[in-house]
Amino acid sequence: MAALNDLGPTVLTAGIVVVSALLLSIAYPDRYVTTRSRPDLIGPKGAPIVGNLLQVIPRHRRMLGWFKQLNENYGPVATFTLPPWGRGILINRPEWLLYVKQADIQKYSRGPVARALFKEFPGGKTPVASEGAGWRLARKSMYPIFTVKSFTEHVSSAMNTIVPTARSFLLNASKKNIPVDWNDLAGRIALSIFSHSAFTHDTGTLTSDPSIQGSDDLRNALLALNLISARRLFNPFWQWTEYITGDRFRFNRARSYIRNIVLHMIEARRAEIRDVPAGERHADFLTALLEDPTFDDPILIRDTLVTLLFAGRDNTQNVLAWGLHALMGAPQWMDRMREEVTRNGSGNHELQYADLSRYPVHLAVFYETVRLWPGLPKNARLALCDDVLPALPEHGIAAVKIEKGDYIFWSDHNMMRDEAVWGPNSNTFDPSRHLTPDGSFVRPAQPRFNGFGAGPRLCPAAQLATYEFVATMAGILPFFDLEPSKVPGLYDEPSMNESFTSSLAGPLWIDIRMRKGMD
């Protein structure tokens, strides 16, 4: 005891830390502290105390690649541990994913790690950041925008304005021999459709003038929030490192910009509701939301609109951008889509929602695009109780034990490109896989196809994105030839951002040429 008293507090503290670290290293020799040993699962060997953190940190902006590597090295199930997630179990079988999705809310949850990140963006009172009654209320607040009535009355009306404007944009670019960044244009189209249909509001982001290409503050803000949020998922030190990289400042600035847009929109509509007679007001989603006493929480309203603004632009932009990229590599499908428009006699008017089923080729192209570039390329769920993923004897795969507190990870992007799931041509863009020999469209079935989720969290926007894609392509492809730009140094083979969603990284420059009869 006297010897201990002779030691200074610094030396004593250091000794305690060293001994504690040694004991923890013995208790957790290859995994993150607090996780239990799972010799029944295989995966990359971790380091004492921190698990696989040292392997993940250099890859935290390229996690899809690491997930793919784990699947290739360890098969349909692999495990890893790291802070703050604890034990992660990566699955790569659609049957297991469907099982987890169907048990969502009862046995599985987004968990506190994901909810904390989503609370930052898009907001704490959104479906992605809430559970239980909060989740049900947030989901209910968005429901009216995804009804058939909304599609037929509001979205179809918006298409009658937006698609002709996009055609005029492309026509003018063609006449002036100006290359077009299709990724940028797709975002402008998507945002314009959403703002017209949900808010009866013209953002001014889409006009017939191709010189508007370039900086777009709204696009830049949404992209920054998307990218920075995704980087946080596997960086447990993001709250400190972002001050070094500047991402914290960029995130806060972008979030404030988006929230201010939404708040100004709310204030203007509240003034209209107060001052304009009921029969003369805008009868759209925003008015209905603000007039419904169920949704009297200003934070809920703000977060709902931020979510819809992000998703309304992002989902449609991504599928339009990747869809054209794929079509330019398979121009025979562009020709088939043009023939379908001609056959339906819709070249002189915009496609209406009620006519969607008459476009099986367009639908097949849409679903094939979503298969290759799903809306959420990676995801996770927390196990709320002990569970077992069922055995798959037809594939020679044993059951997998899941313990309470485990996180199940998966990648829709990797799974729907896996040869074991979709066959030897799984990485090939082939819409014919969604068509019968007589040309009828066959919606891809679960569990192989998971582009829109399943179970209680099934994406409510699936049909909306489908209609917007089909109507936009049907309104553009018959009038123009579109191909990768031949301007030297302009066109690059596109890659995908490591973000929440499957956004295309950078521009997609194309050359436009009017087809015969378009002038």
Kindly report, residue by residue over 491-510, the tens digit of the pLDDT.
Answer: 999 999 999 999 999 999 99
User: How much of the chain is helix, strand and coil, in % rounded to 5?
Assistant: 55, 10, 30
Percentage of the residues of the chain whose pLDDT score is greater than 70: 97
In the chain, ranges of CATH 3.30.43.20 domains:
27-123+376-416
State whether the Cα torsion 223-227-230-235 is positive or negative. negative
Identify the top-confidence range among 99-113, 272-286, 334-348.
99-113
281 pLDDT exceeds 90?
no
455 contact partners, CB below 8 Å, separation of at least 6: 101, 102, 103, 104, 105
pLDDT of residue 518: 61
Stretch 323-348: mean pLDDT, rounded?
Answer: 93
> Residue 505 and residue 221: Cα distance in Å, rounded?
15
pLDDT of residue 7: 58
A 10 A CB-CB count for 107 gives 18
pLDDT of residue 351: 93
Q: In the structure, what pLDDT confidence band is assigned to residue 6 with cuts at 50, 70 and 90?
A: low
Q: In the structure, what pLDDT confidence band is assigned to residue 461 with cuts at 50, 70 and 90?
A: confident
- CA 457 centroid distance within chain: 14
pLDDT of residue 1: 52
* Cβ atoms 138, 300 nearer than 8 A: yes
The side-by-side arrangement of strands in the sheet containing 480-484 is: 180-181, 509-514, 480-484
- Calculate the CA dihedral of residues 468, 470, 472, 476 and round it to 10 degrees: 180
26 pLDDT exceeds 90?
no
Q: Is 266 exposed, middle or buried (0-12, 13-18, 19+ CB in 10 A)?
A: middle
In the chain, ranges of CATH 1.10.630.10 domains:
128-374+439-519
pLDDT of residue 16: 72
Count of alpha carbons within 13 angstroms of residue 390, beta-carbon side: 11
> Residue 228 and residue 217: Cα distance in Å, rounded?
16
Kindly report, residue by residue over 305-324, the tens digit of the pLDDT.
Answer: 999 999 989 999 999 999 99
Stretch 392-405: mean pLDDT, rounded?
Answer: 97
3-state secondary structure of 181: strand
> Residue 511 and residue 481: Cα distance in Å, rounded?
8
Instruction: Give this prediction's pTM.
Output: 0.94
Kindly report, residue by residue over 244-265, the tens digit of the pLDDT.
Answer: 999 999 999 999 999 999 999 9
- CA 240 centroid distance within chain: 26
A 10 A CB-CB count for 98 gives 16
Which token pair is 427?
């990485």
* Cβ atoms 200, 284 nearer than 8 A: yes
* Cβ atoms 382, 111 nearer than 8 A: yes
Cis peptide before 447 (omega within 30 of 0): yes
Range 165-168, long-range pairs (CB < 8 A, 24+ positions): 165/192, 165/206, 165/207, 165/208, 166/206, 166/472, 166/475, 166/476, 167/475, 167/476, 167/479, 168/208
Q: In the structure, what pLDDT confidence band is assigned to residue 10 with cuts at 50, 70 and 90?
A: confident
* Cβ atoms 150, 197 nearer than 8 A: yes
Residue tagged 């784990």 (tokens)? 70
> Residue 380 and residue 408: Cα distance in Å, rounded?
5
A 10 A CB-CB count for 437 gives 6
Class for the domain spanning 27-123+376-416: alpha beta
Residue tagged 């014919």 (tokens)? 432
Q: Into which CATH architecture does domain 128-374+439-519 fall?
A: Orthogonal Bundle (1.10)
Stretch 172-188: mean pLDDT, rounded?
Answer: 96
> Residue 132 and residue 479: Cα distance in Å, rounded?
49
435 contact partners, CB below 8 Å, separation of at least 6: 360, 361, 364, 441, 442
Kindly report, residue by residue over 464-490, the tens digit of the pLDDT.
Answer: 999 999 999 999 999 999 999 999 999
* Cβ atoms 421, 447 nearer than 8 A: no
103 pLDDT exceeds 70?
yes
27 pLDDT exceeds 90?
no
A 10 A CB-CB count for 479 gives 20
Stretch 177-205: mean pLDDT, rounded?
Answer: 93
Q: In the structure, what pLDDT confidence band is assigned to residue 18 with cuts at 50, 70 and 90?
A: confident
Looking at residue 350, the DSSP 8-state letter turns out to be P
2 pLDDT exceeds 60?
no
Q: Which neighbouring-strand residues pair with 505?
A: 495
Stretch 83-100: mean pLDDT, rounded?
Answer: 97
Q: If you average pLDDT over every residue of the chain, what do you get?
A: 93
**Phi and psi based region of residue 147 (left: phi greater than 0; alpha: psi -120 to 50; beta: remaining):** beta
Q: Is 229 exposed, middle or buried (0-12, 13-18, 19+ CB in 10 A)?
A: buried
